[in-house]
Amino acid sequence: MEESSSETMETWDLPNWSDFPNAIARIRAEFGSHTVDPGDEYEHVVSNRILFRSQSDNEWALKTTLERTTVERISISHYLERADFVVNEIESSTGKNWQLPSWPEIRKEIADSQDSMRAHLPCYDYLVYLRHHGFPSPLLDWSSSPYVAAYFAMQQSYDAEHSSVFAYIESPEGGKSLCGSEPMITLRGPHVTTHTRHFAQKASYTTATRWDKEKKQHYFCSHHSVKTPPVDLQDVFIKITIPRSDRILALRELEDYNINHYTLFQTEDALVRALGLRAFDLEVK
């Protein structure tokens, strides 16, 4: 995988947790919509999709679980081959049939559908399932809820001074330009058939790829290697840092909104973890 470039995104350092709602309101006011002029018709306002992602330590970069697992340079085709390799055992163990095409069919679909401007990723439902169950994934997960992201930023007791919540706006003005020789981010939406936690977490995903014109393939790369235009026209990232000294205050407030490990993961393990956090950290002594 490619190394991340130096940090160039805008950073907002909050003095305390109580300023977080104001920061989100500011992002939504600035990037929440754009105006479309249809010509002779009246112009109208269209909402933008704003996504959020967290890190327990604000020093951490945006990395997929695939990046954390290997430094190998992996193409979309190579990754799908590995994902297809494990599907039979998953189906045998879980009883779920993913009905994937054969590997030759998958490989042909990728070759026929991708080009320098399009990073085609087939079997998306299955890849989201793998991501949620711990298989190394090129999908970077985001939430449409800043408060879900804030929970993941603050939920673990961690030795860092600040956590961070990233905001991502793909197309602030409604359009996007691409250059086939440069790394690109592709936003992949929420409409998949997969684990219920995907919907509880209001999840969407992005992938970052670079086109290899000699091999005619997209290879996964770092989100930080994508160049941001000099003006906020596309792929805008904003990093909000929050003092971890406000962790308990934040988690208590999020618990009031019914945002906890159980509501976001909906498993027995998550229930017990949420109750443990409540019993030892959140209950007023």
pLDDT of residue 65: 97
| Contact between residue 211 and residue 181 where contact means Cβ atoms under 8 Å apart | yes
Largest CA distance in the chain: 65
Percent of the chain predicted with pLDDT > 70 = 93
Buried b (16+ CB within 10 A) or exposed e, 114-128: bebeebebbbbebbb
pTM (two decimals): 0.90
DSSP SS3 for 219: strand
Beta-bridge mates of residue 218? 211
pLDDT of residue 5: 38
Give the whole-angstrom CA distance, residue 62 versus residue 74. Answer: 18
Residues 257-267: pLDDT tens digits? 999 999 999 88
pLDDT at 231 over 70: no
pLDDT at 7 over 50: no
pLDDT of residue 135: 96
218: tokens are 């997209």
Query: What value, to the nearest 5°, has the Cα angle with vertex 99 and ends 94 and 105?
Result: 135
In the 8-state DSSP scheme, what is residue 278?
A: I
> What value does the CA radius of gyration of the chain take, rounded to a whole number of Å?
20
pLDDT at 193 over 90: no
Q: Which of 116-120, 207-211, 224-228 has the lowest mean pLDDT?
A: 224-228
Residues 136-159: pLDDT tens digits? 999 999 999 999 999 999 998 888
pLDDT at 88 over 60: yes
Residues 19-48: pLDDT tens digits? 999 999 999 999 988 888 766 566 788 889
Total residue count of the chain as it appears in this document: 285
Mean pLDDT of 106-135: 94
pLDDT of residue 9: 83
122: tokens are 């087939």
pLDDT of residue 151: 97
What integer best gives the mean pLDDT of the chain? 90
Give the whole-angstrom CA distance, residue 103 versus residue 80. Answer: 8
Q: Which of 34-38, 99-103, 171-175, 238-242 has the lowest mean pLDDT?
A: 34-38
Mean pLDDT of 247-253: 96
pLDDT of residue 194: 74
pLDDT of residue 223: 95
pLDDT at 236 over 50: yes
pLDDT of residue 40: 59
Only one residue has tokens 């081959």, namely 81
pLDDT of residue 2: 36
